[in-house]
A = this chain, B = another copy of it.
C-alpha cells in the first residue's frame, strides 16, 4: 500500500504509552484505542538490570513465600495499648545519656534545625541544661548518645525525640508478643517539641504530662487491661481518618473508651477534667498510637529470610531511610527532600520548609496514611486536592503492595482492604514510589509546624536496597 492510499483509508490507531498522543488524535477526530503501557522500570536501564538479577535469585530462593509470610505477620498482628511508662524504665537499650530521634542514624553535626530544636528542648526538660546555649554545648559535647527510635522498638513523629524521663505509650502485639513505644503527643500542636520548639510553655506542658497526664492515662489503661488499637483504626477509616494526618475520629473513639476509666481511677475531679480537656483539645492525640500500632505490627514482619517487603520508612530531616524484611537492620538512605506538594500556613513558603522528617511514615509502611488517602476526603481537601485525587493516589499504591488489609477497609472503594506491604521489587518494576501524607516543620529550631502536604519516597532509596538484596541472596 502506498502512503497516499494509507491516508485515504479509515485509520485504526492503537496508541501505546503516552496518553497525550491520543489526545492529539482525538482533536483531529481520529478514533484511537489507548493502551495504558509504560516501559518496565520507567525505562531505567540500571533498574532493568537489577530486576533481571533479581529474577535469577527468585529461581533459587522462595521470595514469594517469604513475602507471603512477612505480609501475613503484618496483617495478623494485634497491637494493643497496655500501659504507660517512663522511657528509661521501659524502652529496651535506653540509657540516661541517650536521646532517641526519628529516622535513620544521625549525628548532632548533621541534624536538621527542627531536630536540634527538639534535642535542646529535651535537654532543658531533663534538667541537663538551663537554656538553649547550654543545651547546644551539651548536645555537641559527645556526652549525649543519639540513637534512632527504630533501634529501640520505638517511633516518634517529626523530630521524634524521646529522652529518658519522657512518658511513653507501651503497645504490645498480642499475636507475636513484641512491644513498641512512642512518646506522647500532647505538648502542643504548632508549637511543640516534635516540631523543634523548646519554649518554656512546651517544657511546662511536658512536666505536667509527666506529673498528671501520663499517670492518669496509665491507671485508666491498666484498669481497662488494654485498648485495642486495631479496632479503633479500622473504625476511624470509616469515619474520615486516613490514620496519619487526620486522627479526629480515632482520637474521639479513644476518648470515649478511656474517659469513664479515667473518672474511675483518678480521684481529683480537677485533674480528671484537665486530662479529658487535654485529649479533647488535640485531634492528633491518636497519631502516636497509630504509629506505635504500625511499628508493633511491622516489627513482627522483620527478618523474614528472602522477603523484599519494606518494614520501615523513616526520615530524620536530613536523610530518608528504609529497612527491608529480608535485609535485617540495614538502612538504605538518600538525602531527604522537601515535600513537593504542600499547603503552607500564611507567611510561609517552600523556602522555609525543612526536608521531610519523622517516623510517622511507619503508617504508610503498614498500609495507612497516603495508602488509605481515599478514606479522608477532608484531609485531601485541606491540602488542596479533590476526592478523585485521593482515589487515584490510593489505587496507585495497590500497584506496589503485596496484598490488601483484612481489617482496614476503604469505604469508598467498596470496602476494599488498604494496599499493604510495600515490595521493593514492585516499586522498581512499576516505577511508582510510595506516597506519604506529612506535616512540614520550619527549617530552623524554635518555629514549629508551617504546613502539610505529600511526600514521595525518593526512588533512589529502592535502587540502593535492591543491589543489597541481590548481593545477600546471590
Q: Which residues of A contact B (CB under 8 A)?
A: 235, 238-240, 248-249, 252-253, 255-257, 259-260, 263-264, 267, 269, 272-273, 276-277, 280, 377-378, 381, 386-387, 411-412, 414-415
Contacts and interface: CB of A to CB of B under 8 A. Distances in A.
Contact of A378 (B257, B277, B280, B411): B411
18 contacts: A235-B248, A239-B239, A239-B240, A239-B248, A239-B249, A240-B240, A240-B249, A240-B411, A252-B252, A255-B259, A257-B280, A259-B259, A259-B276, A263-B263, A264-B269, A377-B415, A387-B411, A387-B412
A414 B380 CA distance: 11
Contact of A269 (B238, B256, B267, B378): B267
A411 B381 contact: yes
Contacts of A276: 259-260, 263
A377 B375 CA distance: 11
A176 to B, nearest CB: 30
B239 A412 contact: no
Contacts of A377: 238, 411-412, 415
Contacts of A272: 263
Given A253-B252, A260-B273, A386 B411 contact: no
A238 B381 CA distance: 11
Nearest to A241: B239
Given A249-B249, A260-B273, A260-B276, A238 B414 contact: no
Given A239-B240, A249-B249, A377-B412, A263 B255 contact: no
Given A260-B277, A377-B411, A377-B415, 19 more contacts: A235-B248, A238-B377, A238-B378, A239-B239, A239-B248, A240-B240, A249-B249, A249-B252, A252-B252, A252-B253, A252-B256, A255-B259, A260-B276, A263-B263, A264-B273, A267-B269, A377-B412, A387-B411, A387-B414
Contacts of A264: 269, 273
A62 to B, nearest CB: 37
